[in-house]
Amino acid sequence: MERPNEMPAVARGPRTDDQDELGMTTAELLGNAALGIAALVAIWALLQALGMDIVNWIRSQLGV
């Protein structure tokens, strides 16, 4: 179906796969945000559990 203010299909040529995606949808943006938050929570949990061990390991590697 033609959208208003678009060139007719004959003038613009055949549609390719990369032209089917006109932009990110709200669901895609919310999904990406949820994945980002999940990653931050996982990193936070690891740092809570291993934080001082990691800091001490870095210090020993640097010789501080």
pLDDT grade for 16, boundaries at 50, 70 and 90:
low
Kindly state whether residue 6 falls inside one of the protein's structural domains: no
pTM of the predicted model, to two decimals? 0.50
Mean pLDDT for the stretch of residues 20-33:
84
pLDDT grade for 50, boundaries at 50, 70 and 90:
confident
Kindly state whether residue 45 falls inside one of the protein's structural domains: yes
Higher pLDDT, 62 or 51: 62
Higher pLDDT, 22 or 41: 41
Which helix (H) or strand (E) segment is 18 a member of? helix 17-20
Kindly state whether residue 4 falls inside one of the protein's structural domains: no
Kindly state whether residue 42 falls inside one of the protein's structural domains: yes
Handedness of CA 58, 62, 63, 64 (dihedral sign): negative
Separation between Cα atoms, residue 26 and residue 63, nearest integer Å: 49
Range of the domain at 37: 24-64
Please state, in angstroms and as integers, the Cα–Cα distance from residue 63 to each residue in 50, 52, 58, following that order. 20, 16, 8
Kindly state whether residue 10 falls inside one of the protein's structural domains: no
